[in-house]
A and B are shown apart, each in its own frame.
Chain A
Amino acid sequence: MSEVPLPLHLERVVVHHGGQDRRMVLDHADLTVASAERLCILGESGSGKTTLLEVISGFRRPDAGRVRLFGIDPAGAADRVRARLRRQQLGFIFQDYALIEGLTALANIAMPLRLDGIRAEAAHQRAAERLAAVGLTHLAAVPASALSGGEKQRVAFARATIHAPRLILADEPTGSLDPQTGHEILQMILGRGQDSPRSLVMVTHNHEYSRHFDRVLVLRDGRLHEVA
């Protein structure tokens, strides 16, 4: 029986920023995320959290080290493999929601399925279910540009989970929200009580959220430090 690959495994990853005055942002960082594990990565602004997410998602190739996302090197894989990985295994939640303003909430949510070749009708049906799950059925036909911050993040969450990803990458998902809404969004992301367990990597600078996670790491001086 073949071994199921870990959702995420980083080994001695090095990333530099800048030209001549190169600054080491990730300094031989190691990270492993187990299946269904909820991991919080804390770090100050400029500590390299976003760079870490770029490396994990394959947006950036590390200068050194090894990255394995479900057993695949995301930066080294062919474009179609990387794209399939993103639309089938990963769910992204961004601080600024990253919705396409001109599309309706429903169309935004359906997009990963549409990109995966699912017909519009089926995709929109599933999107409507996800929209109902986040309590925004009445906003289905509203353009993303007309939604409030909380509504946008709910839509973004629905989009990130419509294809039942095995790993969710969240980049300061509550950073632009008020505490109450932020808490609600966090509970959604943590996915308590959901049927299909999924792993979660959330980067934030808000220490208050750390108690909700299985494991907390701090990104400091380019390295990830375990927090008890």
Chain B
Amino acid sequence: MKVRRPFRRVILRRLLIYCLVSACFAVILANRIITSAATEGFEARIRASLYHEAVLTFPMLSAQKVSRGHTDADHLAPWTEDALKAAFAGAGISVSPYSRQFAPIAELPAAGMVEILTSDLHFPLAYRLSLSPDRTPEPGSCLIGRRLADQLMGPLPEWLHFGTMRCRLAGVFDGEIRPPFWTLDRAVLRLAARDRVMAEETILWSSYLQADTAVLNEADLRAGLAPWLEAEAVEIWSSQHHAERAAGILAIYNFVAAAIGGIALGLCAFAIATTFMFSVSEQRREIAIRRAIGATQWQIIGHVQIEIAALVLGGLLTGMIGGKYLGLYLLAQMQGAGLLDPAAQAVLSPVGLIQLAAMFLAAGVTAGLIPAIVAARIDPAIVLRGG
């Protein structure tokens, strides 16, 4: 025989809990879907390059064979490449000095010639740097940073000179972003003014190292560079650092996701506890009748808890379906808007899903303990008293 529950308020409250659990679980699941899609590629990229990449940055003057009078790129590049290859050839490491970054240029003479150029004209486009004046860069033309342009005092020159080369000044770019190190091949080449007195901190050289299998840890790199450079002067940013940084970012991301989940979980638990407290107070007489005709306190607790568990499970089921479609929809929208890699795919492990659901269930049942205990302690004598 079916049990009928015509109490509208009770049904409405149950419905509220059901919907709340569904919504919260759906939000958490959708968030998890997007997070997994956003981080999966990231993690894979880090894993692929983990320990096999490094970036070296060191002052040129710490290199023994570099004289102060020979600082143009034509001179520096071959020497540095030779030095690094000599240092690591025996270790099976390939050296690709792809980035030549000279910075900062703060002590420019007022009237000196300034040379600055990009090695890649797509650089401003790739990093959304605005150009001024509004000119389209041509091959062989140069860009100058806004800060440097301000230091020139006066109208911008048409030509920029560096070493024995020159290029037409295509424009000024704004922005001081520092791209991630694996994009340094698009970095700006900056040369100091011709008559500028160089100091160790003014000219830096960056090189990118990659090994097929060897682990590029910091100690080995320093040891390998020791005959060629003042090892203490070398700044090493290995992929170990990168991985640590990435792990930190992921930890923050996961913390935020967990916080959202925790808030949703807490909200559900609070709603369950308060709603069932109301229900218990409204059903005092019904509970007292059950007690009077022989229900134990444990049976009353079980009765309340089973009801909560059924509601939470129902809500979880709906939330699981809703959350999946919500997450996939949002993922598609974000990919369409260019916020996520179009190839990124959500990865949800069944174990993780079950753990999440179990956590919800446990939170619901725990939250329901208070009203369940209150219900179990209702005095059956109120039946006799007509209360």
Contact = CB atoms under 8 A, between A and B. Distances in A.
Interface of A: 50, 53-54, 57, 59-60, 79-80, 83-88, 90, 92, 94-96, 98-104, 106-107, 110-112, 115-116, 120, 124, 140-141, 143, 145, 159, 171
Given A59-B379, A102-B5, A86 B294 contact: yes
Given A100-B286, A102-B4, A104-B3, A83 B381 contact: no
Contact of B294 (A100, A103, A106, A116): A116
B3 A107 contact: yes
7 contacts: A59-B381, A60-B381, A79-B297, A103-B4, A104-B4, A107-B3, A159-B293
A85 B296 CA distance: 11
Contacts of B297: 79, 83
Contacts of A101: 6, 286
Nearest to A128: B1
Contacts of B379: 59
Q: Which of A85, A100, A111, A143 has the largest count of B CB atoms less than 10 A from its CB?
A: A100
A94 to B, nearest CB: 6
B292 interface: yes
Interface in B1-16: 1-7
B373 to A, nearest CB: 13
A221 B118 CA distance: 108
Q: Which of B5, B289, B291, B379 has the largest count of A CB atoms less than 10 A from its CB?
A: B289
Contact of B385 (A50, A83, A112, A116): A50
A72 to B, nearest CB: 14
B289 A100 contact: yes
B82 to A, nearest CB: 88
A80 B296 contact: yes
A92 B293 contact: yes
Interface string B288-310: 01111111111100000000000
Contacts of A120: 1
B380 interface: yes
A84 B384 contact: no
A9 to B, nearest CB: 21
Q: Which of B286, B293, B383 has the largest count of A CB atoms less than 10 A from its CB?
A: B293
Contacts of B295: 83, 87, 115
A129 to B, nearest CB: 14
A141 B3 CA distance: 9
Given A84-B294, A115-B293, 17 more contacts: A54-B384, A79-B298, A80-B296, A83-B291, A83-B299, A86-B292, A90-B294, A92-B293, A94-B384, A95-B386, A100-B290, A101-B286, A102-B5, A102-B286, A103-B3, A103-B4, A171-B384
B205 to A, nearest CB: 81
Contacts of B386: 95-96
Contact of B4 (A60, A110, A112, A143): A143
A87 B5 CA distance: 24
A57 B298 CA distance: 19
A60 B292 CA distance: 12
Interface string B6-47: 110000000000000000000000000000000000000000
Nearest to B7: A102
A18 B293 CA distance: 27
Contacts of B2: 104
Nearest to A141: B1
A96 B384 CA distance: 9
A195 B1 CA distance: 28
A136 to B, nearest CB: 14
A85 B298 CA distance: 16
Q: Which 10 A-B pairs have the closest CB atoms?
A: A87-B294, A59-B381, A86-B294, A83-B296, A102-B5, A98-B383, A106-B1, A98-B289, A115-B294, A100-B286
